[in-house]
Every structure is written in C-alpha cells, then in structure tokens.
Amino acid sequence: MGLWDKLFGEFIDIIEWTDSSVDTMVYRFQRYGNEIKFGAKLTVRESQIAVFISEGEIADILEPGMYELETKNLPILSTLQHWDHGFESPFKAEVYFFNTRQFVDLKWGTRNPIMMRDKEFGMVRLRTFGTYSIRIKDPAKFIREIVGTDGHFTVDEISNQLRNLIITRYTNLLGSSDIPVLDLAGNQEQLGELLTHRIAPEFLDYGLELTKILVENVSLPPAVEEALDKRTSMGMIGDLNKYIQFGAAESMQTGASSGTGSAIEMGLGFAMANKMALDMAQPQNDTVAKTSATLPASPPPLPDTNWYVAIDRKTMGPYDLNTLEQLANSRQITPGTLAWIDGMKKWESIEKIEALNGLFDDETNQPPALPDTQKPNN
C-alpha cells in the first residue's frame, strides 16, 4: 500500500446519519478537519435532507438518496472549490443533516389568564392549552435564520419562541372572535384552524411549516367554574319536590345496603322529604286560596294555650282553654278576672276578651241560691 493510499484511507468515505432521538432537528456530521474523501458515499434517508456548507456558503442541498461525491454530482461545490475536471483529491466541507419529519405534540398554553369581555358573564379570565406540529420546510432559510453553526439543534431551542408567537396571535384572535364563553368548547376546532391559517406565514419566515394547531382546553378560574357548576346543578334539578324525595330514597337505599339503616331513619327521611315539599308548596297554595276566596276575611282565632290570669294579684299560668274552664267552674276566676296572652297590649278582664266569652254561661255559671240556714221550730 502506497503512502497516498494510506493517507486517503484515513479520510471518511461513508457519510450518513441515523437518528435515535425524537427532538433533533439538525445534526452536523462529525469528522476530523472537515476532510471528506473524493468519491465518498453519502446516504440521505427518507425524512432527511443533507446540506453542504463550504467556505461558509451553502454549496448543495441533497434530497433522499445515495450519492457518490464527485465533481459531476456536486456542480455548485465544484465551482466553489475550483476543481478542474477529473481532479480527484480530498476536500473540506461541512455536512448538515436536516430532519424533515413532523415534530408533533409540542405544547403551548397561556402562562397568565387572558382577559376578555363576554356578553353573559361580563369580564372573564380564560386559560387555554393545546398542542401544535411543525416540520422543516426550507433548510436553507432555517440554517440562515435559526440554526447558524449549531452542530446539534433540537426542537427545545426554538419551542419557546414558537410558543410565544402562538399565544400572542391566539390572544388577538380570541379577543376579536366574539364567541361566548359557553360556546368556546364547541368552536375549539375552528379556533385551531383559524390560528393555523394566521400563524403559518410567520413560521415560514423561519423555514418551518406549521402543520396543525389544536386547542385542547379553554378553562375559567376555579371560583367562576364553581359558581357555574352550582348554576348548572340548579337547572338540572327541575322539580325540586321530586328531587328531595329522590334524595331521601337514595339515602335510605345507601343506608340499607351498608347495614346502617333502620326503620326510624327511613321514617325520618320520608317525614323530612314530605315536610319540605309541603313547605315549598305552601306559598302556591296560599296564593290560590287568596284568589279563589269568596267569603269576607276574618281575623284568625287566638290560640287556646299560654293564657295567663291574675289570681289573688299573682300571675298564674299559662293555661289552655280547658284549664280556664275548670278554673271558672270552680269559681277560682270570674268574668272580672284579668287575663293576658302573647299579642295583647295589656291585661283585660275575661268578659272583654272575645276569645274567652264562652267561659261563663249565664245559666251554668250563676251562683246557686244560698242554703236556708234557719232551723225549724219544734
């Protein structure tokens, strides 16, 4: 083996890149001194593009395939190197491999809530999250505008810039869309399509193609969501009476299945449900009664309990009507006895209180004739 053959054998004659990562966008082929052997084999796989950089300029851009690096296959590079036809020698050049597959499931979202005006809720704050997908469209523009001389460029190095661009354009789009907050969930697909159409030209300025933007979630602040849930729950209840009865039945069924239920609990559950249903129905019944009544209104009778009477200048009681009647029969109280019940402004004699008129009947409550105390003559 001659000296020149040994030297040429030291130069790389196979150039290829197999990527095992999921985030590498651009990779610079590594070799000592950038020496590439004339006639070397270059393999560009599907979803790759190879770019030759010579003397700081883009020499050639190669699509997928296998290439033998000769002057006839690299006309631009040949011109830059000033090769004569048939001159075979090693040359210096940089080879960059571009990954042209789609980079999917890239996250974007609003760091701070977006303030917007809603017709139904007024001023609201919204958060939005989603994903987007990109691919390298123009390698030459991408390496000029973004990559530069970076030998291992990943998607993380540009994701922040792309995310900020998406959020800025989304904020403007959402503010001008005039879509009610409650209708945003039904328009997420349309929002994504509009956002893709609006931002795609700006991605092309970087040499990238924006293939899709997805709006996955639009959320309100927790306090607003809680209030909205309560409002939704009230609308779903419908007939409140049936809802209470259903809840009582569910509670009893749960207690019975867990072994903690009892007949008393079941009875209390039914009684509570019926009581609440009657209480809620009472205003409606009162309204119907007022509109359908034909007899003149009269004040309701005073309750028959909690009566107080003055006996021997002492307050006695409270008594119900039956007790008062017994006191009247035993002559412990008379028509002139003072009486009082809650609601009266002052003490009144029993004979002046309409509710107690029946205590003293003239025929039954008149004192009997005194007995004849004179003894007969013997």
Q: What angle do CA 317, 318, 323 make, to 5 degrees?
A: 85
Query: Which are the contacts of 79, defined by CB distance < 8 A and separation ≥ 6?
Result: none
For residue 49, which of 68, 64, 28 has the smallest C-alpha distance? 64
Within 8 A by CB and 6+ apart from 300, the residues are none
- Determine the average pLDDT of the residues in 151-165: 93
User: HSE on the CB side for 75, CA within 13 Å?
Assistant: 0
CATH 3.30.1490, the chain: domain bounds: 307-361
Look up residue 337 and give its two tokens.
């006895």
Residues 6 or more apart from 17 whose CB is under 8 A from it?
A: 27, 29, 45, 48, 97
- At residue 135, φ and ψ (nearest 5 deg) are -150, 160
Helix axes 240-258, 263-292, angle to 10 degrees: 170
Residue 346 per-residue DSSP state: S
Mean pLDDT of 66-71: 75
DSSP-derived secondary structure letter, 64: S
pLDDT tens digits, residue range 85-106?
A: 344 555 677 899 999 999 999 9
pLDDT of 162:
94
- Torsion sign across C-alpha atoms 181, 182, 185, 188: negative
Average pLDDT for 63-77? 69
Domain 103-224's class? alpha beta
Q: Which residue has the tokens 């950089």?
A: 53
pLDDT number for residue 140: 93
Q: Are 324 and 309 in contact (CB under 8 A)?
A: yes
- Cα distance between residue 182 and residue 354, in whole Å: 64
Contacts of residue 37, Cβ cutoff 8 Å, sequence gap at least 6: 8, 11, 12, 13, 69, 90
- For residue 231, the SS3 value is helix
Average pLDDT over residues 345-371: 73
294: left (phi over 0), alpha (psi -120 to 50) or beta: alpha
Cβ contacts of 260-263, under 8 Å, gap ≥ 24: none
* Average pLDDT for the chain: 76
Task: Kindly report, residue by residue over 293-346, the tens digit of the pLDDT.
Answer: 444 455 555 556 688 999 988 888 888 888 888 888 888 899 889 999 988 888
Q: How confident is the model at residue 132 (pLDDT cuts 50, 70, 90)?
A: very high
213 confidence band (pLDDT: 50, 70, 90):
very high
What's phi and psi for 13, nearest 5 deg? Answer: -120, 0
Query: Would you tell me how many other CB atoms lie within 10 Å of the CB of residue 49?
Result: 20
Q: Where in the chain is the domain with CATH 3.30.479.30?
A: 103-224
Kindly state the DSSP code that residue 371 receives in the 8-state scheme: P
275 alpha carbon, distance to own chain's centre: 36
For the cut 70, the answer to whether the pLDDT of residue 59 exceeds it is: yes
pLDDT surpassing 90 at residue 352: no
244 beta partners: none
Eight-state DSSP code of residue 91: E
Mean pLDDT along residues 181-208 = 89
Do 34 and 94 touch, CB atoms closer than 8 A?
yes
Answer with the residue of higher pLDDT: 281 or 104.
104
d(CA 324, CA 337): 11
Q: CA-CA distance, 211 to 213, in Å (whole number)?
A: 7
**Least confidently predicted of 76-85, 269-278, 337-346:** 76-85
User: Considering the chain, what percentage of its residues have pLDDT values greater than 90?
Assistant: 26
The number of CA neighbours under 13 Å toward the Cβ of 279 is 7
Q: Which CATH number fits domain 307-361: 3.30.2320, 3.30.1490, 3.40.50, 3.40.720?
A: 3.30.1490
Nearest one of 16, 41, 36, 27 to 93, comparing CA atoms: 36
Virtual torsion, Cα 339, 343, 346, 352, nearest 10 deg:
-50
pTM of the entire predicted model: 0.55
Biggest distance spanned by C-alpha atoms of the chain: 185
Residue 270, pLDDT above cutoff 90: no
